[in-house]
Each structure stands twice: as C-alpha cells, then as structure tokens.
Amino acid sequence: MFWKKLFVKNTKSEPYKNNNSVSQVFETRKISVKKLNIALPFLQKLYPIRLLSETELKQIEVLGEDFEPGQTIYREGSPLTYLVYIIDGEVLCENAIGAHYEVVAHTLKALYPLSNSDLSLFTAIAKTKVKIIYLPKDLLLDSSSSQVKTDIDQLPIAGALQKIPFGQKLLNSIQTDNIEVPGLPDVAIRLRMAVQKDIGITEAVKIVNLDPRIAAKIIQVANSPLYRGVNSFSSCDTALNRLGLNATRNLVTSFSMKALFASKNKLLTKKMHQAWQQSVKVSSLCHTLALLTKKVDPEEALLAGLTHNIGILPIIKLADQQENLSFEDLEECLRISQAYIGQLVLMQWDFPETVVKIPYLIDNWFYESGTDFGLVDIVILAKYHSLLGSEYMPFLPALHDLPAFQKMGSQGLTPDMSLQILHDAKQQVADAMNLFSA
C-alpha cells in the first residue's frame, strides 16, 4: 500500500558528520572569536538551521564575537562562508548606494542571518554593543536536511503530532495507511497519461471534451489576457492548437483541482476556500515570474504554485470525520504536517519530482537548489511576493538574502522591483483568480 510503503522505517540512516568547523573560517583572521555554548531551544528558533535535526544541532560548533559601537562586523563585498546572527544589541546594514536597514536582537528579524549571500551585499556596523554568533554556512548542505524525507518516524513532526489529540488520529491514519488521499478527476488523469504517449491534438480534444466544464475553461483561458492571443477561439480544438499539449495538460490538471477543495463543514469549507485562493495567488505570481525570467515553463510554474499547499486536503478530509474537532488542534496539525503530506499526495498522483518537492521546500527561504534557476526557485519567490504587505511580512527575511533571488543576477529582480512586480502582475493575478474561481 502506498502510504505504508513510504513510511517504512529507515534503519540505515547515516549519522551527521560536521566536517566544516567554523574555526577553519577564522584561521587567517586576527579577531577575538571564542567558542560559545548556546542553548538548543534558541538554535531551534533560527532560520534556516531550525531545519536541522536535534542531533545535528547539538554537533554544531558555535563561535561568538563581541563588537563595540561603531565597529564593522563585515564589509560590503566581503566573502561570507558562514551565517552571522545577532544575539545581543543593534546592527546597521548599509550599502554604497545608500540603502540601509537595522536589525535588533530578540526580534523576528534577528532570527534570520544578517546575510545569506556568498558575498555580503551590505556593510554591517554595530550601533550598540553587539554580540554575534557564527555558524558554518554549508552545514545545511552537508546535513540530511537538504534531502526531502518521507519516513514519518524519522521526522520531528511525528513527536509533535503525538502531543495533539487530533494529531494522534492523523499520525495513526498515516501509519496504518488509512488516510484518504483525493484522486484527480478522470479527465485530468486520462490527459496526463495520453500526453506521455505523444498523442496528437485531435485525441487530446476528445479527452478534454469529456468534461464540458473543463473544455469551456480551456477555451476561456485561450481567449484570456494571460495568453494575449490576436484571434479569438470558439472551439476546443482551436484553443488546444493555440495552447499546445503540455500547456493544456497542466491547465486541465489545474482546473480539475478546484473541485477537491471542498468540505461538508462550513468552517472547514471556509478554510479550504482560503487555501485555494492562496494557491491561485501564488500560482498566478509563479506564472508572471516564469514569463519574466524565461527560465521555467509558465504553465508548469502555474501548476506548481497551485499544488504548493495540497497537503491540506487529506488533513481536512480527516477533520471532516471528527465530531468534536478542536480548530486550534487542526491549525497546529496543518502547520506541522501539511508540507510533508503534500509531497506524498503529489507522489501518489505521479507528478514529476521537481513538483513533488515543492510543498516541503516552499517555506524554506534559504533553500539551495543548485546553480541553475529552476521551478522550486520560482515558487519560493512567488510565495515570498504573495506575503509582502500581509500580516506575515514581519516574519520574512530580506529578499536579497534568498538564494533563489541571488541566482537571478542582472537579468532578474532587484529588491526595489518587488513591489513593482506585484503592481505589474495585479491584473494578471486578477485574471487568473477569475479563471480559477468561477
């Protein structure tokens, strides 16, 4: 059985080996750096190292340094092979063109490193007496956190779910292979399988026309401003000729997904609706960023954005069956397990690995996907932009610290362009919302 097979306990996991001592970074620097003992609960709050296991965190060598007011911590353009966190005092970060921001210890912003770039983009100066800690930047790449995990018994979420009444039921349903995984509608499955066999437009039209609602949507999207066609299309075959088979396949899957976001419970229906609207917003921004960067297929990016929070579906389905459900418990279970369950749903749907990873990685702002700018980077940036101006904005790191952003270089975004992108994409987002909400 699918779920049980995925959750077979792995007994051959390798122990974490920290081969990158922070001390090596400072061998040639004549500065006053000393080893520190930092409490584990504090390290578990820091981004992105909070992704490490407790065993890995305990093995990290933490070094610290004190600075007096006015002292420079590092200069703009300096190579950074370590993560720098402020744990006491205030730091001013400024660059040569006058941009600047401040970071104060014990605030949300201080949970992120002062810089995550290979070369520092700002000069960091102590405004007050400051205490800094240094952690090796590549410890995340060396650790098991860089791999998507599917063994729930090996993950921290298992212990967390055990502490919540509804979480216990959710965990038991997963471990006993009794959790309900929604299936894609028949037309989406047929078309995805058929496209893999290199069918032609005529055969694809026959499949799409099996669902008149989906066929109408395909015609509508072919005529929408998103595709800016010169001619109008009134039939499914002309619309598919305009869009192409791969785009049609991804769009049919996307339109089919809306029907899955439903519940019998009014409050759960509201939760589903909010999740769908967030998915549509992120997917619309994915589409816009894909068009802007020309690095990723726009329709593939659209579908990836729609599926980023797909893990909510099995959790809500199980919640629907509970008589005395605590919505506080539900929210906590969603926060803990949605990402892990999301990737498993996409695996069962036989989605490509690049899409399967996205629910697990989308909130890891510091994820390193490699040297090439790809689909995961697009979705991370889209999610980031979707949160600008929202109540979650204070929790966000600086845009220039995101590896996904850094890859775009001179051809892509600058921090000042972020709000401009949102403004330029406003109509595209509205068009997509109308297409997917109707």
Cβ-in-10-Å burial (0-12, 13-18, 19+) of 211 comes to: buried
- Token output for 78: 């300096």
Q: What is the pLDDT of residue 144?
A: 44
- 210 shares a domain with 61: no
Residue 60 lies in a domain: yes
Regarding whether 92 and 222 lie in a shared domain, the answer is: no
Q: Which residues of 160-171 are buried (b: 16+ CB within 10 A; e: fewer)?
A: bbeebebbebbb
Residues 116 and 211 both lie in one domain: no
Same domain, 140 and 226: no
Does residue 261 belong to any structural domain of this protein? yes
Last residue within a domain, chosen from 120, 146, 172: 146
Question: 227 and 139, same structural domain?
Answer: no
Whole-angstrom distance, CA of residue 76 vs CA of residue 80? 10
End-to-end CA distance of the chain: 36
301 belongs to a structural domain: yes
What does pTM read for this prediction?
0.74
Q: Which of 90, 122, 146 is the last residue of a domain?
A: 146
Q: What is residue 437's predicted lDDT score, i.e. its pLDDT?
A: 65
d(CA 136, CA 425): 38
* pLDDT value, residue 393: 84
Confirm if 179 and 2 have CB atoms less than 8 A apart: no
SS3 of the chain: CHHHHHCCCCCCCCCCCCCCCHHHHCCCCCCCCEECCCCHHHHCCCCCHHHCCHHHHHCCCCEEEEECCCCEEECCCCECCEEEEEEECEEEEECCCCCEEEEECCCCHHHCCCCCCCECCCEEEECCCEEEEEEECCHHHHCHHHCCCCCHHHCHHHHHHHCCHHHHHHHHHHHCCCCCCCCCCHHHHHHHHHHHCCCCHHHHHHHHCCCHHHHHHHHHHHCCCCCCCCCCCCCHHHHHHHHCHHHHHHHHHHHHHHHHCCCCCHHHHHHHHHHHHHHHHHHHHHHHHHHHHCCCCHHHHHHHHHCCCCCHHHHHHHHCCCCCCCHHHHHHHHHHHHHHHHHHHHHHCCCCHHHHCHHHHCCCCCCCCCCCCCHHHHHHHHHHHHHCCCCCHHHCCCHHHCHHHHCCHHHCCCHHHHHHHHHHCHHHHHHHHHHHHC
Smallest CA-to-CA distance from 349 within 303, 393, 390, 316 is with: 303
Q: What is the CATH number of the domain that holds 369?
A: 1.10.3210.10
- Examine residue 141 and state whether it is found in any structural domain, yes or no: yes
Q: How far apart are CA 360 and CA 346, in angstroms?
A: 11
222 and 113 within one domain: no
Tokens of 407: 């890859």
What total number of domains does the chain contain?
Answer: 2
For residues 378 and 301, the answer to whether their CB atoms sit within 8 Å is yes
> Are 131 and 191 part of one and the same domain?
no
Whether residue 315 sits in one domain with residue 193: yes
Pick from 405, 386, 418, 394: which is nearest to 109 by CA? 394
Q: How far apart are the C-alpha atoms of 289 and 421, rounded to whole Å?
A: 9
Tens place of pLDDT per residue across the chain (438 aa): 433 333 333 333 343 344 444 444 454 454 578 888 888 888 888 888 877 777 888 888 899 999 999 999 999 888 888 889 999 999 999 888 887 888 999 988 888 888 877 778 889 999 999 999 998 877 665 544 444 444 555 556 777 888 899 999 998 888 877 888 888 888 899 998 888 888 888 999 999 999 898 999 899 888 887 776 667 888 898 989 888 898 899 999 988 888 888 888 888 999 998 999 899 889 888 988 888 888 889 889 999 999 999 999 999 999 998 888 889 999 999 988 998 899 889 988 888 888 998 998 888 888 887 778 899 999 999 999 888 888 888 888 888 888 888 887 544 455 556 556 666 667 776 777 677 766
**CA-wise closest residue to 336 among 154, 197, 167, 219:** 167
Distance CA(395)–CA(402), nearest Å, equals 14
Residue ending a domain, choose from 146, 175, 199: 146
Q: Answer whether residue 172 is part of any domain.
A: no
Indicate whether 152 belongs to any domain: no
Are 99 and 247 in a shared domain? no
> Within this chain, do residues 321 and 216 fall inside the same structural domain, yes or no?
yes
Q: Domain residues for 285?
A: 186-437
Cα angle 310, 313, 315; round to 5: 120
State whether 140 and 237 are in the same domain.
Answer: no
Write down the pLDDT at residue 87.
94
The answer on 288 and 431 residing in a single domain is yes
pLDDT of 4: 37
**Considering the domain boundaries, does residue 12 fall inside one?**
no
- What is the structure's pLDDT at 20? 43
Report yes or no on 5 lying in a domain. no
